[in-house]
Amino acid sequence: MADDPVPVQTGDHPEVPTDGAGEDTPRKWRGSSRRYLLERLKEAGRDDLIEAVESRRISARAAAVGMGWLREYEPASPDNSRTRRRQFEITNVFGGTRPSHVAVLQELWLGPNSNEGSLFRSREELREAWERNRGEVMAEWGCNGRRPAAWYEFEAPSDLHDDYDRERSQLYERGLLGIDEAARVEADWRADFDRAQTCFRTDAERRRFYREIDLPDSLRKQWEAERRRRARKDPPAGGAGI
């Protein structure tokens, strides 16, 4: 049985292999049935794959694909979290490199899928992935006053929480940005602050805008004080206040 080729199924009517006794004598199980594939794995001495199938880490078909006995189906949604997790388990079981590098980077950036969970089976696996890919993830998403989810998980101060709306101001005020990064972010805020002086007519409108751009209170107070000092030194024509 172990020497018989397993046909690749195509269409709705897969070929049924025979046991060599004649074309009309079907084998007991189909070429891709779970029982048949487990029997082949047993004959091949792959108890590790049998254990992975029985523990539902991978399917019997996935094990057969990994052994080269069957052709992999093209997933309808290759970016689906379940597909990525299945690929992760298959390559992990066969000792290959972890699949879908993009999917791993995405989870390190954004965190696990809220509906389908993490690609990783443990926090230790997540930590290992972070250590392997930290440089690439930080170069792509750890800039401009932002930090990836894995940074918050493993490197952020314990009392700092991932709050996207206030992320840049929190990182800035706590000194967690690099010198050049902080300077770039501050320059962006300063340009927006100066623009607000002419785009809005009231202080209330400006304050609302400052909240929208996540302007740190320390910078807002500093720059408003500078404007008041300039206004006192060089008041507008006609004596009108700022």
For the stretch 87-102, pLDDT in tens is 666 556 555 544 467 7
- Give the whole-angstrom CA distance, residue 9 versus residue 13: 8
For the chain, the distance separating the N- and C-terminal CA atoms, rounded to the nearest angstrom, is: 91
Sorted by sequence, the CB contacts under 8 Å of residue 55 that are 6+ apart come out as: none
**Residue among 78, 57, 61 nearest 70 (CA):** 61
For the stretch 26-55, pLDDT in tens is 444 445 678 888 888 888 888 888 888 888
213: confidence class by pLDDT, cuts 50, 70, 90: very high
Looking at residue 16, its pLDDT comes to: 40
Angstrom CA distances, 197 to 54, 205, 216, 235, stand at 67, 10, 17, 15
**194 token code pair:** 């100066």
* Eight-class DSSP state of 211: H
**Residue among 56, 57, 52, 59 nearest 32 (CA):** 59
DSSP H or E segment with residue 184 = helix 179-199
pLDDT of 79 higher than 50: yes
> Over pLDDT 70: what percentage of the chain?
69
64: confidence class by pLDDT, cuts 50, 70, 90: confident
Angstrom CA distances, 82 to 46, 77, 103, 182, stand at 25, 9, 11, 39
pTM flag (> 0.85): no
For the stretch 68-77, pLDDT in tens is 676 655 555 5
Looking at residue 185, its pLDDT comes to: 97
For the stretch 137-185, pLDDT in tens is 999 999 999 999 999 999 999 999 889 999 999 999 999 999 999 999 9
Looking at residue 164, its pLDDT comes to: 92
**Residue among 213, 114, 113, 100 nearest 166 (CA):** 213
